[in-house]
Structure 1
Amino acid sequence: MMAPFWIASILLAIATINHNNNGIVQADILYAGIVYGTPGNNTPDTVEALAVCRKYGIRRIRIMETDDLAIQSLRSMGIEATLGVKDEYLPGLASSYEAAKSLFEIYLQPYVPSEFVVNYIVVGNKVIPGPNGKYVLPVVKNLQRVLADKNLTQIKVATAVSTDVLRTIFPPSHAAFSEKAQGDLIPLLQHLQETNSPLFIDVYPYHYFAAGQIRQDFATFSTHKAQYWDKTLGYWNMFDVLVDAFFWAMEKRDLDVKMVIGETGWPADGNGGLTTPELARTYNQNFLRHITAGHGTPKRPYTYREGFIYSMFYENDKPTGIDQRFGVFYTNKEPVYHLYFPYPKKHGRKGKSEKLFNTTG
């Protein structure tokens, strides 16, 4: 039997938030999500993680390094998933349609769409640029062919990249894809555009703040007017700078690919006063408000964007420091800080919000 290869991904939705009969807050439609990772010797397993999602009304999930337990746990949970392909399986899946078909039939066909919903399949996590980058496009094509054969074309196939694929960030209008990324990335983006499939991007304003390149208020969406100008475009936050850098880089290649925020977040500890629960909450809360408000970015205004908060739990097997402390929940499954999920304005509930994560119980 072939080894499991699916990595799950979470897209929380943020639209209508209600209380059920038990008084538990529920988020019915979400634009943002939370990432479940496993690097920790005391990280709750997938069954426990999904129970936390259900408790707090999280309807979509990204689960890194998933396995049979993850797939089985998703059954009948009412939680939607974005699934990924482990990097080490890319060469085999790139060379054979039958391998992609077999893996799909083993791990997903018995359950999709009757027992849980899959929104996206993400092929490789930040493997471009790198030695495995050349396999991404063939795997995407093989999986798309499998999904078409199964009449499941509503499941979109994507890949995830970081800002490492960009040659420059400032100003965003000067952004372009790096030479080391172009060879594998440009043909892939052309194909994603042709098939109406997204690109997942990692966006971390924290790193630019920690490096002393930007102010805290610009990093955490806390400014009250534009702080940075790129020609006629005024930027109120670093998040928009990074997202628009990708838009500009694609435009230079005559590309227009939908983007999903694959990861974003702020560590709650690990780097002194730069990483506190208060700052982490401020960034993540403002991120949620930002993507649900429908303002878009200076280059692409008036758009809603899907996104994923990294991460669900503290992960103590990662390198000591901030990498361990991005979690919204402690490993005992208690929230690290409060988060509120606002109603998007398009649903006619301006200004109203409900508590989702409550550290006070």
Structure 2
Amino acid sequence: MITMYKSRNIGRIRLYEPDYSVLEPPCLSDIQVLVGVRNQDVYQLPKSHIAAEIWVKNNINPYWPRVLFRCIGVGNDLIPGPGAQYILRAMKNLRNALLRHGYLCNHIKVSAAIRASCAFPIHHWLERSLKNDYALFSSENVAVKDGGLSCFNLFDAIDGALHAFMQKAVAPGVEAVVLESGWPSAGNGEFTIAKMARV
């Protein structure tokens, strides 16, 4: 898999959890890694800074700096939901653990995934457009125009809206990273909106 990534000049990879079969071999050099904290571990991290220390010791220390960790993603699909209440404290404990281990925050950031559809309302007309060329990246016409910005596809509109939301309502300068997107061609008649992460 890593050989295929490199052959196509893909410089970043997301691991949903620390996968030692991927992290152990030396082949990850030159690829930035976003490594996830398993959902079941997220519930333990807010309880004590010691749990976060152990997580960093077990999952970051053995591999850094050979593995270029770009980010730690806290949980998957926990926001929205009952697990969301644990995310912020888990992020803070992990960040403090990184600092105590000598990792500067500009080297390894701590993040959490949110669904783009939860960050801001998606209008009904936009949802109706999911099954057309706008969602499939094949539209030749501008579908959404906002001032001087033109969107030819659904991804551009969601990405632009999330950035605008974060600049005005959350924190200017906070980077958004695309973690994954659904595939409208999956054949099940449902369409998944791209998930974004705050870094």
TM bracket (short chain): 0.7 to 0.9
Following the alignment from structure 1 to structure 2, what is the Cα–Cα distance between the partners of residues 268 and 254? 33
Which residues in structure 2 correspond to 1:97-116 (within 5 Å)?
A: 97-113=49-65, 115-116=66-67
Q: Which residue does the alignment assign to 1:227?
A: 143
- Please point out which of 84, 88, 102 is paired with 2:40: 88
Residues 224 and 76 (structure 1 numbering): CA distance in 2 closer, same or farther, change over 3 Å? closer
Following the alignment from structure 2 to structure 1, what is the Cα–Cα distance between the partners of residues 123 and 146? 9
Residue pair 1:118, 1:155 contacting (<8 A) in 2 also: yes
Residues 107 and 55 (structure 1 numbering): CA distance in 2 closer, same or farther, change over 3 Å? same
- Report Cα offsets for 1:238-287 as digits up to 9, x if no partner: 11221222234334525322111111253554258x99xxxxxxxxxxxx
- Report Cα offsets for 1:208-235 as digits up to 9, x if no partner: 4xxx425633223333442223466543
2:79 aligned with 1:163 = no
Residues 58 and 229 (structure 1 numbering): CA distance in 2 closer, same or farther, change over 3 Å? closer
Q: Which residue does the alignment assign to 2:157?
A: 241
Residues 141 and 227 (structure 1 numbering): CA distance in 2 closer, same or farther, change over 3 Å? same
* Other structure's SS at 1:213 match: helix
Residues 227 and 101 (structure 1 numbering): CA distance in 2 closer, same or farther, change over 3 Å? same
Opposite residue 178 of structure 2, the aligned amino acid is: I
Residues 235 and 51 (structure 1 numbering): CA distance in 2 closer, same or farther, change over 3 Å? closer
Which residues in structure 2 correspond to 1:289-308 (within 5 Å)?
A: none
- Please point out which of 244, 249, 259 is paired with 2:176: 259
Residues 130 and 226 (structure 1 numbering): CA distance in 2 closer, same or farther, change over 3 Å? same
* Other structure's SS at 2:134 match: helix
Residues 233 and 61 (structure 1 numbering): CA distance in 2 closer, same or farther, change over 3 Å? closer
Q: Which runs of 5+ in 2 are unaligned?
A: none
* Other structure's SS at 2:179 match: strand
TM-score, normalising length: structure 2? 0.77
Q: Which residue does the alignment assign to 2:2?
A: 50
Cα shift at 1:166: 3.5
Q: Which residue does the alignment assign to 1:136?
A: 87
Residues 57 and 223 (structure 1 numbering): CA distance in 2 closer, same or farther, change over 3 Å? closer
Which residues in structure 2 correspond to 1:1-361 (within 5 Å)?
A: 49-73=1-25, 75-78=26-29, 79-113=31-65, 115-153=66-104, 154-170=107-123, 208=127, 212-214=128-130, 216-230=132-146, 233-253=149-169, 255-256=171-172, 257-266=174-183, 268-271=185-188
TM-score, normalising length: structure 1? 0.45
Residues 169 and 244 (structure 1 numbering): CA distance in 2 closer, same or farther, change over 3 Å? farther
| CA RMSD after TM alignment | 3.1
